[in-house]
Amino acid sequence: MEDNVKEWETHHVFATAEHPQTSGLVDRVNRTMNQALEGYFNTDMMIGIAICRQQFLKSKQLDKLVYGRLPFTTLKNHFPCPKERPKPFDIFLARVGELREAARHNIIRKQEKSKRLVNQRRRIVRDLRPGELVLVRIKLKKKNKTKKYLPKYVGPFQVVKKICPTTYLVEDLPANRQK
């Protein structure tokens, strides 16, 4: 046998040193040797063929132990049909409805938690009345200038009216207004 393997110039190559898994060449060599040896045996001698199969197809048996199936199987064995009947569509729809409701409750709970954590750092701001003086925060963009020295607020401005709970209409001070 060793003479035949040397004559065929076959080498068993492992994929890695740490995980000695074959690169598929072992299965091919075993299959070729099995076919060659079957030619030497008489087809009536099924016991001899069975012994050779057990000896030369050990890697397939290892794959069956590791993966639970043979490495080269039919498509049916790769994707076995479920043994139980599929659930009716109305049960599926009820389950989807339950999952959507659970997801909605999870989202609401997470939003409330996020709101609570963010609002802990917020200042309590009182409503502004018309006539009060305020500074307005701006983000100036000047080319070739560092943001470090740019002003963050401009003003003062005078509040004219409240448009919505967080928005106010402001104008320049009466002394600074241009006519």
Distance CA 68, CA 173 (A): 82
* The model's pTM: 0.31
How does pLDDT run across 62-109, given as a tens digit for each residue?
556 566 666 555 555 556 666 777 778 888 889 999 999 999 999 999
**Distances, alpha carbon 134 to alpha carbons 28, 58, 86, 153, 173, in Å:** 83, 84, 67, 10, 10
Is pLDDT of 170 > 70?
Answer: yes
Residue 106, token pair as written in the block: 């999870």
**Distances, alpha carbon 131 to alpha carbons 59, 66, 156, in Å:** 88, 80, 11
Query: Which pLDDT score is estimated for 44?
Result: 55
Highest-pLDDT range among 34-38, 98-102, 121-125, 172-176: 98-102
How does pLDDT run across 139-164, given as a tens digit for each residue?
777 777 777 777 788 888 999 998 88
**Distances, alpha carbon 101 to alpha carbons 52, 93, 105, in Å:** 60, 12, 6
